[in-house]
Amino acid sequence: MKITKAWLFAFAAATAFITSGHAALAEELSIMASGGAWQDAQRKAWFEPFSKETGIKIVEQEYLGDLGKVKAMVDTGNVPIDLVTVETATVLQGCDAGILERLDYSKIAPREKFIEGSALDCGVGLDAYGDVLAYDPNVLKEAPTSVLDIFDTTKFPGKRAMRKFPAQNLEWALMADGVAPADVYEVLATPEGVDRAFKKLDTIKQDIVWWDAGAQPPQLLASKEVVMTTAWNGRIQNAIDKDGAPFKIVWNNQILEYDMIAIPKGAKNPELAYKYLAYISQPEINAKLASYITYGPVRIDAASFVAPDALPKLPNAPDHMTAYLVADTEFWGDYGEDLVKRFNAWLAQ
């Protein structure tokens, strides 16, 4: 066969195409998050800009935040995801159980650059959010003034919604029963304190509609199935800003938490995962999420990059921090498994 310049050119082009095709296939990063407005915000603030800058394709998956799903992947050795968003209440459990990888912060950012409690061994913070109370003033003529008003069925009769999970509910139950916020975790660490929290929840159990996914609270309010609901602040603010919903947020006695992201044990692309973590941990990039959903940045030096119109809506805005509780990740790491079992047993009663 006669090898011409044209043949060599065609062969080189084909080889380049095949090689680039294989490279493109290899450059995929699978992220599993909890869906809804929050995942939409991540897509706009982080997923799409990251892909545009690096050429790495983000493959999205969704779940309800159940660590058991990640554990099943790890236990079977079939881990189709590279990163998973997790809550502060479950990060330490996943770390202790060997479900999540211990992070190398030299590949991300210095730990001291993050808000205290948002850079853990097995999870790095994405944002700060508030567990709040929300209601529709067209339904409730008298405005609640605290998240703890969810326990007042005399002043605020009707169905109310709470997340189907012990974290937050047990803390609020103790505060509603007179425990000072500073003492909540000390009391909840005792058998008597746990009994006290569940006894308080008993007082409204028949009036509770349980929600699992963050998209449900605004839907429950919109359908008037409930008169009030606990919620993640960003989901309610999103309904107000994007859908024109008439809802109001009650910040008093909010619980401040951090959304985290982790690498599951056995992830196939850990280096790509670290590349993404380093990208979103830059202060100017971390701050971008607040433009799409009202969750605050976790980088200490990111506040100046937050859009001015978003600042007053953040859970850690000064006006929202007069009465609050910071979720104790160590407590839930130590006691979470037992309290989840107790909570599920209580639900079944």
Span 109-155, pLDDT tens digits = 999 999 988 999 999 999 999 999 999 999 998 999 999 999 999 99
How many CB atoms are located within 10 Å of the residue 334 CB? 16
Q: How sure is the predictor about 22, in pLDDT bands with cuts at 50, 70 and 90?
A: very low
Write down all domains in the chain, each with its CATH number in brackets: 28-128+258-320 (3.40.190.10), 130-256 (3.40.190.10)
pLDDT at 105 over 50: yes
Please tell me the distance from the alpha carbon of residue 117 to that of residue 112, in angstroms, as a whole number.
10
Instruction: Find out whether 32 and 261 touch, Cβ atoms under 8 Å.
Output: no
Task: Name the residue among 165, 139, 16 with its Cα closest to residue 87.
Answer: 165
Mean residue pLDDT across the chain: 91
> Can you tell me the mean pLDDT for 247-271?
96
Of 283, 285, 289, which is closest to residue 315 (Cα–Cα)? 289
Provide the pLDDT for residue 319.
Answer: 86
How many whole angstroms separate alpha carbon 160 and alpha carbon 204? Answer: 9
User: Looking at the predicted structure, is the pLDDT value of residue 259 above 80?
Assistant: yes
So what's the pLDDT on residue 26? 52
Which position has the higher pLDDT, 20 or 300? Answer: 300
pLDDT value, residue 158: 96
Burial state string for 84-114 with b = 16 or more CB within 10 A and e = fewer than 16 = bbbbbbbbbbbbebebbbebebeebbeeebb
* Token pair for 162: 């709470």
Dihedral Cα 76, 81, 84, 89, nearest 10 deg: 0
**What local confidence, expressed as pLDDT, does residue 298 receive?**
95
Would you say residue 14 has pLDDT above 90? no
Question: For residues 214 and 87, is the Cβ–Cβ distance under 8 A?
Answer: no
- Is 171 in contact with 201 (CB distance < 8 Å)? no
Residue 184 structure tokens? 């909540």
User: d(Cα 200, Cα 127) in Å, to the nearest integer?
Assistant: 31
Supply the pLDDT for residue 23: 45
Give the Cα separation of 287 and 88 in Å (integer): 20
Which one of 11-15, 20-24, 149-153, 240-244 scores highest in mean pLDDT?
A: 149-153
Query: What does 258-326 look like in DSSP terms, one character per residue?
Result: EEEEEPBTT-S-HHHHHHHHHHHTSHHHHGGGGGTS--B-SBGGGGGGS-TTTGGGSTTSGGG-SSEEE
Q: For residues 325-340, give the mean pLDDT.
A: 90
Indicate whether 11 pLDDT > 80.
no
Answer yes or no: are the C-beta atoms of 83 and 312 closer than 8 Å. Answer: no
Is the pLDDT at 280 greater than 60, yes or no? Answer: yes
Residue 240 has pLDDT above 70, yes or no: yes
* pLDDT of 109: 98
**Which DSSP helix (H) or strand (E) runs through 57?**
strand 57-62
pLDDT at 10: 47
**pLDDT average, residue stretch 223-229:** 98
d(C-alpha 147, C-alpha 160), whole Å: 12
Residue 2 pLDDT > 80, yes or no?
Answer: no
Give per-residue pLDDT as tens, 158-184: 999 999 999 999 999 999 999 999 999
CA distances from 181 to 185, 188, 195, 201, 311 (A): 8, 11, 18, 17, 25
pLDDT-derived band of residue 25, with 50, 70 and 90 as boundaries?
low
The Cβ of residue 189 has, within 10 Å, a number of other Cβ atoms equal to: 13
Across 253-280, average pLDDT: 97
Residue 71: is its pLDDT beyond 80?
Answer: yes
For residue 17, the model assigns a pLDDT of 47
